[in-house]
Amino acid sequence: MLCRMRQTIAFCPLLFASVLCHGDNRILIDSEEIKSAEPCYETRTCDPATWPQPVESTETEKPAEAAVEKKHWVDQSRSYVSTQADNLTVWMDSFFGEPRHDEEAPHSTLRLRLEQDWDQEDGTDTGIRLRGKLHLPALNKRLSLLFADDDGDSRQDDLFIDERAKNDDLALQYTLREHLKERIDFKLGLRSSLKPKASVRYRYRQPFREDYIGRFTEEIYYRGGDGFGSKTRMDVEKPLDDRRVMELRNLFEWGESTSGVAWNSSLSLNKRLASDRAIIYYISVSGITRPEYLNTGYGLGIRYRESFFRPWLYYEVQPGYGWRRPTVEDHRQGAASITLRLEVSLENDTETH
């Protein structure tokens, strides 16, 4: 009996230790909380020296923290540059009244232009152009009405020598998808000849290499009387500072009614002079791929625009010089030109509030 009591007494500490190591995850000893740790199970010991201790920062962690901090700094710098470039580009597009800005704006716009053109070869031409967008939130927030749809970028077309389309079209535009980087639009309307037209347009815009912004646009269209076609634009924008941005723009267009691909490229320096003034210096080149590859025109010029008297009233002066060769049989001829514009520009941005 005495032997059994001794065995029991000797067994109690082992049992108590076993309870400590394999019992509940939280136990109380002398009214103090102790967290049972995994090392007790792994090492089969309950020596407090083996329990996990609070981890203090060491010198070996500083490089990792520095790398994280450096990464954050790079991301912030890239975001800052991209934002600055985007803000300046959007301001230039809005100030010069570019259709791509009006088409993607979530509000209504109206632009009435009186133009006086003089060309050394073609003589003088005077015209009135009305262009705008009527947002239709009552019907659908994604639906809008476009009139005098230029089928392109007005400012870009002005920089191109042989692409100054002056259409009087009407179209309904439905935005299928709108994202910071991507946008998809459907258009259905009538041309000035009352022939139908339809198109789908995809746009992708993304900053790259920290201080560049790329923009890709692909449009597939059908125009009554001309058939199917496609228009591809690839643009690159680089900010130089908070007032200047360099833009490289490229356009490639193919159509069933034309042979080959017509292309246009321009390089421009856009400078914001003040809140009511801006200027563009540009050079441009255009060409076709069939029936023979030919550079149909080279050109350079300046476009100055200023708001005066009222914030919605603008005037423009655009002198330029071009070297043109429409066909292989023609000799390249140089010609000076100048365009004067007076524009009334109205926007209703209260619809977005």
pLDDT of residue 29: 40
| Structure tokens that stand for 214 in this block | 């790329």
Closest by CA to 90, choosing from 170, 205, 262, 217, is 205
For residue 350, what pLDDT band results from cuts at 50, 70 and 90?
A: low
- Which residues sit opposite 133 in a β-bridge? 109, 146
Q: Could you tell me whether strands 261-274 and 244-255 are parallel, antiparallel, or unpaired per DSSP bridges?
A: antiparallel
DSSP annotation of 66: H
- Residues in Cβ contact with 61 at an 8 Å cutoff, skipping those fewer than 6 apart: none
Instruction: Find where tokens 């060769």 sit.
Output: 325
Closest by CA to 339, choosing from 124, 165, 168, 163, is 124
For residue 228, what pLDDT band results from cuts at 50, 70 and 90?
A: very high
Lowest mean pLDDT across 8-17, 196-205, 255-264? 8-17
Tally of CA atoms within 13 A in the half-sphere of 150 that contains its CB? 24
Sign of CA dihedral 92, 94, 99, 102: positive
How many Å apart are CA 257 and CA 228, to the nearest integer? 8
Parse the chain into domains and list their residue ranges.
82-352
Is the model more confident about 170 or about 353? 170
| Structure tokens that stand for 154 in this block | 């007005």
Give yes or no for residue 69 having a pLDDT over 50.
Answer: no
How large is the average pLDDT for residues 61-87? 49
How many Å apart are CA 331 and CA 270, to the nearest integer? 32
Give the chain's mean pLDDT: 76
CATH domain 82-352 topology? Porin (2.40.160)
pLDDT of residue 136: 87
Residue 1, helix vs strand vs coil = coil
pLDDT of residue 220: 97
Lowest mean pLDDT across 22-36, 54-68, 253-267? 22-36
- Taking only the tens place, the pLDDT of each residue in 103-147 is 777 778 889 999 999 999 889 999 998 888 888 877 778 899 988
pLDDT of residue 275: 92
pLDDT of residue 120: 92
How many Å apart are CA 215 and CA 317, to the nearest integer? 28
